[in-house]
Every structure is written in C-alpha cells, then in structure tokens.
Chain A
Amino acid sequence: DAKTTQPPSMDCAEGRAANLPCNHSTISGNEYVYWYRQIHSQGPQYIIHGLKNNETNEMASLIITEDRKSSTLILPHATLRDTAVYYCIVRVDHQGGKLIFGQGTELSVKP
C-alpha cells in the first residue's frame, strides 16, 4: 500500500471551510484514496473515497490532483462536531476490509 503523509494538526474557524491535505506520491494506478475520521473515543467513520475524479457527498468533497500524488479533503462549513482526527488511506480495490491507518491530522474547529 502506498504511504500517505498528512500534517499532524490543523485549526479551522467554525463556519469556514476546512481543507485537509494528504500526500500520496507513490500511489499506483489501482489504488483508491479513502478518508476516515475518528472523533474522540469513538470508532472511525467513513467520509469519502475516490480514484481520480473529484467526489462530493453530504459530508465532504475530495479533490484529487491530476497526477494523483496528492489530495485534499474539504469540509465546506466546519462545525465544532467536526473536531476529530482525519485519516487519509490509499488502498487497492478488492482488498477486503484491511485499512492501513497512518497518524492522521488532528483537526480542531474553534468557535
């Protein structure tokens, strides 16, 4: 699995967009980019995933660069409840449930 690099921590003002970067320069063609988050003392929660096209759902948007070496998770209007550790994971399809978590980015949303 390709390695990912994320900043250890970020701050964001409530109501503003939170942009969380992830570097995955060694990603291969069949690897997807997944984002999960973990709110304190809870199990991780799936946010979004994509291969090469930008993706959007009710929680967030995922922007993947054309060369696929990096991506950005965007929370359009961050709230205090978005304070969590965000994990960027790359994995191949049909790999089952195995997820390799890095250290993630601790996002603090401040009022």
Chain B
Amino acid sequence: KNEVEQSPQNLTAQEGEFITINCSYSVGISPLHWLQQHPGGGIVSLFMLSSGKKKHGRLIATINIQEKHSSLHITASHPRDSAVYICAVYSNTGNQFYFGTGTSLTVIP
C-alpha cells in the first residue's frame, strides 16, 4: 500500500471545466505539498498546507487533517493547466517525504 495515493491517475477536461484532484495519505504530515510538473519537465511547488484552505489565482487546495485527505481544485481550467500534479507529504516521524504517483491533466481547448 502506498503511503500517498492520488486520484484520478489521468484526467481530460474541456477548457472552462472545474477540476478536482484528490490525495489521500496514511502517514503523519507536516505539511502537505502540491507540485506541478509541466510537459517540459520543470517542477513548481504550488501549495504547502497544514490545515484549512489556500487559494492562488484559479487554484485552490484544501486539506482535512482528520480524514487525511487533500484536494486540489482548478476553476475555469485552461489548456496551460495541462500538467502532472503531484501530492507529497512529509512524515516528521521518519524524516521521509512520500509522493503520490501524480495525476496527468489534459485540458482541451
């Protein structure tokens, strides 16, 4: 069993659609990261959150500590949002980072 599981693995959406990517984890965290990897390979850190919700432009990340679950939402999706989104958690009990396998998002014009 993976410590971090993401769903869906692949997602295709029409431009303008609201998108949700889910992340469930089984290890203790401090905090949880959402990363974005563009087709060219570059990785950008989108959010780091320990509780509640964060918003940046059209991106919203939420986390429920009790349920060990986080979601990444994209409002009014755009083709430039096409990328792989990776959830990662840091376990301070073992000084380990655990990564989800990523969600590959394609937004069609």
Query: Do A and B come from the same complex?
Result: no
Interface positions of A (Cβ within 8 A of B): none
